[in-house]
Structure 1
Amino acid sequence: MGLTLDSYISILCVIMILFPSVCYSQDDYVPSRATYYGSPECYGTPTGACGYKEYGSTINGGEVTGGSYKLFKNGTGCGACYQVRCKYSPHCSEEGTKVVVTDHGEGDNTDFILSARAYNKLARPGQEKILFSYGVVDVEYKRISCQYPGYNLMFKVHEHSNYPQYLALIAIYQAGVSEITAVELWQEDCQEWRGMRRAYGAVWDMPNPPEGAINLRFQVSGSKWIQLKALIPSEWKVGATYNTAIQLD
């Protein structure tokens, strides 16, 4: 018995409704591989290429990762969050783990070198030792929004700074999916913005920074500028953190 015209139209409508969701489920995650590294307490490392120091070892409960070159992005990818889950094994959990990029590193064709705590979350309960024995696992991942409830975006005076001759800053508790692509300080005597240099990772620096309270602005994902008046006090201190009172989307 043949299909009527109305039946064809009904089937076509169903296909059109379902097709976007099928495409989304296939394209949402990116296939890759992941391994892990050892560290005391199974946390991240305080010597990571992003320059986060101790913040980088404990942020997100120590569930952090060293990202490959394409995720590290010469430091722009520092602080980005990803959902990572392993595949093709009955020992893998369905949800996987949420990690923050705090370092740069690659293993055997891997995009992620996870802290032991993060790698542990890839496994089903009771299956962790088996997954660790693999050393490297196939995974899929996607970029997700970072969430730090109770924290605003802050700029920390990096440990390499030397008051008042040399100022280095690093952004911490950077939520959302935005990336900081440029940082500038206002030079009052010249009436102009001076660009800070990306020293390495997520660290921005400037020799002979402006005197007095410092106005700062930063560029988000290559377009939007956010300006912060007198964010850094005139007598800034190494290791101090200064609250922007904002949070990125």
Structure 2
Amino acid sequence: MASFSRSSTLSFFLLCLMWMMMMINIPTIAAVYHGYRAGPWEAAHATFYGDQTGASADMGGACGYGNLYSAGYGTETAALSSTLFQNGYGCGTCYQIRCVQSPHCYSGNPYTTITATNLCPPNWNEPSDDGGWCNPPRSHFDMSQPAFMQIADWHAGIVPVMYRRVPCQRKGGIQFQIQGNGYWLLVYVMNVAGAGDVGNMYVKGTKTGWISMSHNWGASYQAFATLTGQALSFRLTSETTGLSVIAWNAAPSNWYFGMTYEAKTNFH
């Protein structure tokens, strides 16, 4: 009788497990990443905006990320209905989305992973089931067209989907884009890993203690303080997980308005 070593048996088991996952089409994104665990699947609908190149959707957005390519998000993005957007606290969160129960779904029901970068506002002139897709309390995704085309034929216009919140996997550190003036510091926070969101934020200059920053809108936080000429450190806490991280000296002492600085840390 043939015999198998323990390592051979383990390898065979892993191969079987991978085959089973492919057969039942389970997304392979890490279940837990940087302190955040993937959530349950829920039902919603999805539409799209922009064009097939994503060029018309690469700038702006209610989260304030500006050019989504330079921010690292590309076209894998979506605008959230206000129920999910949560007055901007949903900015930076990540979702897996798959088309279901529609002849326009691509075979195999592939999924795509998007980052929330914009708001899909309510349309109170239309009923929630016929045009007012983003009216509360609906959960809805208005995806960039390239992202929508990964799961369904764009001719459909709108499709039913299943979605779940997933960890955001980012390359590099958290990014801070600094705006404002000599008396007002406005910081947009980008490239956040883990849960992807920011619940509160503090700033510290080399000559100050920690200063609480208030939520402005989208992914931006503000402090009414004079901090020019000082290296800036930031302390962030995730809205979802409550985990905190400190980005020491993320902006050097010669920082200036309009620039984006990348920290050496992210959520772990």
Q: Tell me the TM-score normalized by structure 2.
A: 0.70
Higher mean alpha-carbon deviation, 138-147 vs 178-187, is at 178-187
Tell me how far 1:228 sits from its aligned partner. Answer: 3.0
Equivalent residue number for residue 204 of structure 1 = 221
Tell me how far 1:33 sits from its aligned partner. Answer: 0.7
Between the aligned partners of 2:144 and 2:262, the Cα distance in structure 1 is 28
The CA RMSD over aligned residues, in Å, is 2.7
Structure 1, unmatched stretches of 5+, are: 1-26
Do the aligned partners of residues 237 and 39 (structure 1) sit closer, same or farther apart at CA in structure 2, a change above 3 Å counting?
farther
SS of structure 1 residue aligned to 2:73: helix
Equivalent residue number for residue 236 of structure 1 = 255
Give runs of ≥4 in structure 1 deviating > 4 Å: none
Q: How does 1:1-150 map to 2 (within 5 A)?
A: 28-39=40-51, 41-43=53-55, 44-55=57-68, 59-93=72-106, 94-106=109-121, 107-108=132-133, 109=138, 111-123=140-152, 128=153, 132-149=154-171
Between the aligned partners of 1:182 and 1:80, the Cα distance in structure 2 is 15
Do the aligned partners of residues 139 and 57 (structure 1) sit closer, same or farther apart at CA in structure 2, a change above 3 Å counting?
farther
Q: Tell me the TM-score normalized by structure 1.
A: 0.75
Q: How does 1:185-224 map to 2 (within 5 A)?
A: 185-186=203-204, 192-211=209-228, 212-221=230-239, 223-224=242-243
Structure 2, unmatched stretches of 5+, are: 1-38, 122-131
Whether contact under 8 Å (2:205, 2:231) holds in the other structure is no
Deviation track 1:105-147 (CA, whole Å, cap 9, x = no partner) reads 1542551001111111112xxxx3xxx2321111110011112
Tell me how far 1:59 sits from its aligned partner. Answer: 3.8
Between the aligned partners of 1:103 and 1:139, the Cα distance in structure 2 is 19
Do the aligned partners of residues 78 and 237 (structure 1) sit closer, same or farther apart at CA in structure 2, a change above 3 Å counting?
same
Deviation track 1:49-79 (CA, whole Å, cap 9, x = no partner) reads 1011113787433121000112212111101
Question: When you count helix as a share of all residues, which structure comes out higher?
Answer: 1
The counterpart of 1:156, out of the listed 172, 177, 183, is: 177
Higher mean alpha-carbon deviation, 64-73 vs 43-52, is at 43-52
The counterpart of 1:181, out of the listed 199, 210, 213, is: 199
